């Protein structure tokens, strides 16, 4: 019996191996199909078919047609046995519902998809659009405009059957406290396709968008005592940047719904059959209002952080020798406006050479708000022997849950520095890397073999004219260096003035980063980086605190600086267009290259006018 059992297991194993081999030998095909000839105004389907499991579907340019809906996905799988041969068919389809607009011949380029770790492209599709007849055109207009002829009645969809709302989890918050805004569609009718969206620009808020699935899934919810199918269209975490009553503009959407055709009964059988038609609808949500309470009088050290945070700090090692490295770490974690806060600056003893800190962020945006951490790691190198203290530094933030300010402190570190082995032979020059330090005094000079002039050691050069001149020049140079040093300290004592001078340089760094995002195709991150460049530049240039920063204050300060009103309006329009473009579909705004060039031009012109 044991031998029979082993034989069965062996046969089953070989069978499964053969099955997997046969199934894996299928060739992958990715094809596109659509009608070769359509009439102007006619709706048709563009279908992409893949006989494998795919991911990262990239659609081609469909700007020559009106997108009514899609891409909608469907999949099927079938396994059959015939004459001892295993056959498997897997079909995944991506379907667009399009409408022909202009007459002519148009070519839809190939789409892309990833299957089994490889990238596949479909074939191109050529579609000829001919002139539509008057009957088809009229019928299409009747469907889109929801107009009814003699045999149909008025629309059967009421305002309580289909509507959109902006749902806020809070209606009263402190300035800088996060709010979750969810845009939902409520329906009790069949939805056919979404045509167009117009999202609010969330004026007066800093926004962090939450990723949601591309395909809208409907779930059942109860609203005002009635059951609806509800779909989430957008989720955004909002951080109010000013106090008072802020208004969120209405959300607008155009979509196609399926309605029952109301018609007069011509005969007995009409009462047993229902007819339906697709009707275009435009929905507008009510605006939403938020009451933003101002923060209480802020203590010293508050830089605009609002939320619940923890502060950590660490130095390692605490005992080392000169010219060895020391790592100083500082981190903030918690929930709140993490992207807008600044890590505390820990004062470093002047006997340590300090390198630029390395900043790392791990921030996530979810329905509960923005959470994560922000850390800095600074490399220090001691250049002197002794015991040094790195003092504690405070971090002040406002806790909206406790409705009060809280203060956290970094640890105080005592660093013991001993003399290094090569300390006596190291000549240190500030501003160079440790690897670039030069060892002096390790070479032996060659003996002079030529005739040299010797002087009597009893001679004294004080009476000489050159000695007196050099002494005076050295004294004047010393006085000059003292004056320059004092001016440098005075200029850098005011941090607002320092930021003002560096505003243009920092803005160019962000523009350079934004340009890279254009080439990588990350559209939303590009507009976010452009906005950061504009906000950061005018905040530093106009000496505005980050916690008080808003568009109206920037415009007001620019006008007070006697800037041309037309130029100021161009800046305002550019900021508003970038805020809108973050959530608008491609093609609804100017191209990223155009936005980049306009931003660079505005900042360059502002550098000339704002001194």
Q: 103 lies in a domain?
A: yes
CA separation for the pair 164, 186 (Å, rounded) = 6
Residue 147 has pLDDT above 50, yes or no: no
Q: 474 lies in a domain?
A: no
Average pLDDT over residues 248-270: 75
Average pLDDT over residues 214-220: 84
CA separation for the pair 437, 404 (Å, rounded) = 50
Do you know the residue count of the chain? 611
| pLDDT top residue among 238 and 52 | 238
Q: 457 lies in a domain?
A: no
Q: Report the DSSP pairing between strands 413-418 and 319-321.
A: parallel
For residues 122 and 67, membership in a common domain is answered with yes
Q: 30 lies in a domain?
A: yes
For residues 217 and 287, membership in a common domain is answered with yes
Nearest by Cα to 375 from 310, 300, 302: 310
Q: Work out the pLDDT band at 168, boundaries 50, 70, 90.
A: very high
Of the residues 145, 179, 202, the one at which a domain ends? 145
CA separation for the pair 549, 557 (Å, rounded) = 11
Q: Work out the pLDDT band at 591, boundaries 50, 70, 90.
A: confident
Residue 308: CATH number of its domain: 2.60.40.740
Q: Is 379 left (phi over 0), alpha (psi -120 to 50) or beta?
A: beta
For residues 11 and 128, membership in a common domain is answered with yes
For residues 252 and 350, membership in a common domain is answered with no
How does pLDDT run across 361-394, given as a tens digit for each residue? 999 988 888 999 999 999 999 989 999 999 999 9
For residues 282 and 248, membership in a common domain is answered with yes
First-to-last CA distance in the chain? 96
Q: What pLDDT score does 148 carry?
A: 34
Average pLDDT over residues 481-488: 82
Q: 561 lies in a domain?
A: yes
In terms of average pLDDT, the best of 51-60, 103-112, 172-181 is 172-181
Average pLDDT over residues 209-218: 86
Q: Which residues pair with 85 in a beta bridge?
A: 82
Of the residues 376, 406, 425, the one at which a domain ends? 425
For residues 64 and 199, membership in a common domain is answered with no
For residues 41 and 176, membership in a common domain is answered with no
Q: 596 lies in a domain?
A: yes
Q: 420 lies in a domain?
A: yes
For residues 309 and 289, membership in a common domain is answered with no
Among 458-462, 479-483, 580-584, whose mean pLDDT is lowest?
458-462
Q: What pLDDT score does 12 carry?
A: 57
Question: Can you read off the two tokens belonging to residue 557?
Answer: 């300060």
Q: Is 146 left (phi over 0), alpha (psi -120 to 50) or beta?
A: left
Q: Residue 416: what are its φ and ψ, rounded to 5°?
A: -100, 115
Q: Work out the pLDDT band at 435, boundaries 50, 70, 90.
A: very low
Of the residues 90, 110, 145, the one at which a domain ends? 145
Looking at the structure of the chain, the number of domains it has is 4
Residue 255 has pLDDT above 80, yes or no: yes
Averaged confidence pLDDT in the chain:
79
Q: Which residues pair with 37 in a beta bridge?
A: 128
For residues 110 and 220, membership in a common domain is answered with no
Is the distance from CB of 113 to CB of 57 less than 8 angstroms?
yes
CA separation for the pair 539, 500 (Å, rounded) = 9
Q: Is 332 left (phi over 0), alpha (psi -120 to 50) or beta?
A: beta
Alpha helix (H) residue ranges in 146-203 = none
Q: What pLDDT score does 48 carry?
A: 86
Q: What pLDDT score does 66 carry?
A: 85
For residues 289 and 307, membership in a common domain is answered with no
CA separation for the pair 136, 38 (Å, rounded) = 11
Is the distance from CB of 439 to CB of 342 less than 8 angstroms?
no
Q: What pLDDT score does 134 carry?
A: 43
Q: Work out the pLDDT band at 442, boundaries 50, 70, 90.
A: very low
Task: Give the side-chain half-sphere CA count within 13 A for 230.
Answer: 16
Chain-centroid distance of CA 316 in Å reads 34
Residue 31: CATH number of its domain: 2.60.40.10
Q: 220 lies in a domain?
A: yes
Q: Report the DSSP pairing between strands 65-82 and 85-100.
A: antiparallel
CA separation for the pair 409, 468 (Å, rounded) = 56
Residue 191: CATH number of its domain: 2.60.40
Nearest by Cα to 185 from 145, 205, 206, 157: 157
H/E run at residue 323: none
Residue 508 has pLDDT above 90, yes or no: no
Q: What pLDDT score does 601 carry?
A: 85
| pLDDT top residue among 156 and 207 | 207
Q: What pLDDT score does 95 carry?
A: 86
How does pLDDT run across 33-59, given as a tens digit for each residue? 888 877 777 788 888 888 777 778 888
| pLDDT top residue among 185 and 150 | 185
Q: What pLDDT score does 195 carry?
A: 83
For residues 286 and 311, membership in a common domain is answered with no
- Each as own residue / partner, the long-range contacts of residues 526-532 (CB below 8 Å, 24 or more positions apart, any chain) are 526/592, 527/578, 527/581, 527/582, 527/592, 527/595, 528/582, 530/578, 530/595, 530/596, 530/599, 531/575, 531/578, 531/579, 531/582
For residues 121 and 189, membership in a common domain is answered with no
Question: Can you read off the two tokens belonging to residue 277?
Answer: 């038609």
CA separation for the pair 228, 4 (Å, rounded) = 60
Q: Is 245 left (phi over 0), alpha (psi -120 to 50) or beta?
A: beta
Residue 510 has pLDDT above 90, yes or no: no
How does pLDDT run across 291-346, given as a tens digit for each residue? 999 999 989 989 889 999 999 999 999 999 998 999 999 999 999 988 888 899 89
Residue 552: CATH number of its domain: 1.20.120
User: Range of 602's domain?
Assistant: 495-609
Question: Can you read off the two tokens belonging to residue 595?
Answer: 């936005």
How does pLDDT run across 113-130, given as a tens digit for each residue? 888 778 888 888 888 887
């Amino acid at each position: 019996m044991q031998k029979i059992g082993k034989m069965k297991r062996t046969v089953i194993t070989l069978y499964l191996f053969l099955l997997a081999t046969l199934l894996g030998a299928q060739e992958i095909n990715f094809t596109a199909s659509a009608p070769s000839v359509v009439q102007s105004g006619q709706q048709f389907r563009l279908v992409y078919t893949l006989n494998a499991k795919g991911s990262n579907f990239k659609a081609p340019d469909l700007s020559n047609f009106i997108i009514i809906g899609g891409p909608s996905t469907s999949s099927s799988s079938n396994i059959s046995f015939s004459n001892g041969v295993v056959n498997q068919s897997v079909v995944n389809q991506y379907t667009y519902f399009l409408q022909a607009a202009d007459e002519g011949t148009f070519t839809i380029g190939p789409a892309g998809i990833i299957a089994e770790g490889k990238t596949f492209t479909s074939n191109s599709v050529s579609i000829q659009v001919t002139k539509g007849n008057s009957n088809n055109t009229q019928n299409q207009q009747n469907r889109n405009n929801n107009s009814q002829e003699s045999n149909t009645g008025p629309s059967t969809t009421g305002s309580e059957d289909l509507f959109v709302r902006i749902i806020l989890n809070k209606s009263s918050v402190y300035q800088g406290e996060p709010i979750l805004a969810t845009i939902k569609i409520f329906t009790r009718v069949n939805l056919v396709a979404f045509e167009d969206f117009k999202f609010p620009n969330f004026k007066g808020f800093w926004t962090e968008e939450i990723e949601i699935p591309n395909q809208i899934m409907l779930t059942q919810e109860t609203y005002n005592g009635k059951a609806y199918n509800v779909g989430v269209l957008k989720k955004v975490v909002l951080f109010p940047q000013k106090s008072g009553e802020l208004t969120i503009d209405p959300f607008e959407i155009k979509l196609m719904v399926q309605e029952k055709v109301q018609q007069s009964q011509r005969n007995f059988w009409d009462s047993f059959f229902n007819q339906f038609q697709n009707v275009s609808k435009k929905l507008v949500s009510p605006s939403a209002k938020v009451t933003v309470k101002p923060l209480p009088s802020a203590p010293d050290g508050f830089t605009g952080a609002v939320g619940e945070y923890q502060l950590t700090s660490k130095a390692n090692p605490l005992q080392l020798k000169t010219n060895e490295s020391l790592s100083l770490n500082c981190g903030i974690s918690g929930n709140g406006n993490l992207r807008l806060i600044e890590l505390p600056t820990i004062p470093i003893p002047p006997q340590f050479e300090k390198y630029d800190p390395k900043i790392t962020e791990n921030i996530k945006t979810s329905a509960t708000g923005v959470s994560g951490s922000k850390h800095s790691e600074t490399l220090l190198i001691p250049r002197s022997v002794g015991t040094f203290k790195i003092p504690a530094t405070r971090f002040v933030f406002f806790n909206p849950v406790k409705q009060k300010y809280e203060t956290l402190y970094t640890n105080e570190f005592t660093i013991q520095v001993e003399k290094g082995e090569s300390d006596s032979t190291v000549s240190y020059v500030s501003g160079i890397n440790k690897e670039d330090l030069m060892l002096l005094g390790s070479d032996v000079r060659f003996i002079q073999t030529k005739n040299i002039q010797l002087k009597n050691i009893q001679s004294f050069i004080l009476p000489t004219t050159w000695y007196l001149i050099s002494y005076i020049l050295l004294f004047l140079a010393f006085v000059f260096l003292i004056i320059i040093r004092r001016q440098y300290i005075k200029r850098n004592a005011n941090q607002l003035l320092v930021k003002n001078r560096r505003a243009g340089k920092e803005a160019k760094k962000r523009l350079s980063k934004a340009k890279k995002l254009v080439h990588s195709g990350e559209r939303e991150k590009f507009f976010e980086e452009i906005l950061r460049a504009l906000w950061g530049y005018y905040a530093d240039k106009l000496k505005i605190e980050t916690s008080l920063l808003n568009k109206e204050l920037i415009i007001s300060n620019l006008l007070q600086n006697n800037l041309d009103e037309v130029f100021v309006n161009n800046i305002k329009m550019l900021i508003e267009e970038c805020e809108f473009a973050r959530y608008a579909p491609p093609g609804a705004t100017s191209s990223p290259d155009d936005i980049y060039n306009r931003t660079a031009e505005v900042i360059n012109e502002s550098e000339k006018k704002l001194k």
